[in-house]
Chains A and B, each alone.
Chain A
Amino acid sequence: MRLQLLALLASVAGAGVSIYLTAVHFVGIPLACPTNAAINCEEVLSSSYAVVFGSSVPTSAAGIIWFAVSAALAALVLISRSAVWSRLQLGWSAIGLATVIFLVYLEIVRLGVICVWCSVAHALVLLIFLVALPRQQEGRVGA
């Protein structure tokens, strides 16, 4: 259950990062990010891939929703310890991880630069997926 607490904290942190990037997009608050040949948050966040399906909604806004649902699922697993919520958490985090792999593809292959803030959010999604993985039951069980 300690791991679920970790998933909950990671979800809250991920939501924080997503809120910050969404605020950068809409409010134009300064983007704190180093810039060099491999790292350029501005390039990534101003690219055509930084919005959802050609809309004006930034990908980070979708990140807020994903992390909020993830936090709720972690809390439900913590409280109820139900296998149903655990399975839902696994499915939800698998969707998140698949999306992260696609976004990393866009950053590395299409744009050739990495956004540090995005990478932090991606690492948190991976962490949540690892927590959601089913663990092997050991010890005695009923016949």
Chain B
Amino acid sequence: MSRQPATKHPRPMRKPVSRTPAWVTPVGVVAAVALIVGGFLLVRWYTTPQAAPPLTPDASQLVVDSLASLPATELDSIGLGSANNLIKPVSGPALTGPSGKPLVFYFGAEYCPYCGAERWPIIVALSRFGTFSGLKTTSSSSTDIYPNTPTFTFHGGTYTSQYIDFQAVETSDRNQNALETPTASQQALVNQYDTSGSIPFVDLGNRYAFAGAMYLPDVLAGMSWQAVAGSLTQPDTTQAKAVLGSANLITAAVCRMTADQPSSVCTTSSIQAIEKKLG
């Protein structure tokens, strides 16, 4: 039996190797991630609300008048709404204004979106104790978070009341150029009570103080001043719950400063209930 010649073992086959170089997959992943991020930037750019041109003085005053004439029944029905109660009791010598009345002191800046959001409830609340005039419309910075939030500026405005005094310092305009400088005593208040360094900062007669906004500015995103004012006349809107809830909190704190004067404002059931929560 002849031996079969030993079969030659075939050389191991080379598994077909992909022609795709090894670096292609990781580079593809990085490129895909970069494309997604680019897409996000594009979406952000398209959805960023544009700043509307400021209203004329007459049109601005109409909006302010609308805020001052909101029905007390509507404010009462909203209570705290969706507002985040930031008001904290503070201790210190009673803070009074030039006329000797309890002083509400506001410290903020026009570029700041949180200041922009908080000015609305401040105007609504203080309009229940007095009258604003000469307020101009503006928008928060177009390059900061919550860009172009519609608001007012207290710079150049006046406030008169038989119950309280109001002082405001807007440190910068919406482009972050210097605007107003606090006096030494105002700066001392900020240093003492605004320990977080956040703006807006509001001192309510050295009895209460708060820093920041009681609701997020995106509640007002993309709206005109008139649209915001219009939404506040309807208690079911997101804007009414946020702005008027915040206004009620400020109103209750001011009522504590004025010994519940005027009674038409301070003795309503919701303000009384909020006063109890303030401590």
Residues in A lying within 8 Å of B, measured CB to CB: 37, 40, 43, 48, 97, 101, 104-105, 108-109, 111-113, 126, 129-130, 133, 135-143
Name B's A-contacting residues (CB within 8 A).
10, 12-15, 17-18, 20, 22, 25-26, 29-30, 33, 36-37, 40-41, 43-44, 47-48, 141, 143-147, 216
Q: How many A-B residue pairs have CB under 8 A?
A: 58
Chain A residues closer than 8 Å to B147, beta-carbon distance:
112
Given known pairs A40-B145, A112-B146, the reply for A104 and B37 (CB within 8 Å) is yes
Evaluate contact between B17 and A136: CB separation under 8 angstroms: yes
User: With A104-B37, A108-B40, A109-B47 known to touch, is A133 a contact of B15 (CB < 8 Å)?
Assistant: no
Q: How far is the CA of A135 from the CA of B216 in the complex (A)?
A: 47
Report which of A109, A129, A138, A140 forms a contact with B29, defined as CB distance below 8 A.
A129
A142 CA / B12 CA spacing, docked (Å): 6
* Residue pair A133, B18 in contact (C-beta under 8 Å): no
- Chain A residue contacts of B18, Cβ below 8 A: 136
Residues A111 and B12 in contact, CB atoms below 8 Å apart: no
Q: Could you pull out 18 A-B pairs where Cβ atoms are within 8 angstroms?
A: A37-B141, A37-B144, A43-B145, A48-B216, A105-B40, A108-B41, A109-B43, A111-B145, A112-B44, A113-B145, A130-B30, A135-B22, A136-B18, A136-B20, A140-B12, A140-B14, A143-B10, A143-B13
**Which chain B residues lie closer than 8 Å to A43 at the CB level?**
145
CA of A15 to CA of B247 in the docked complex: distance in angstroms?
43
- Closest CB in chain B relative to A39 CB, distance in Å: 11
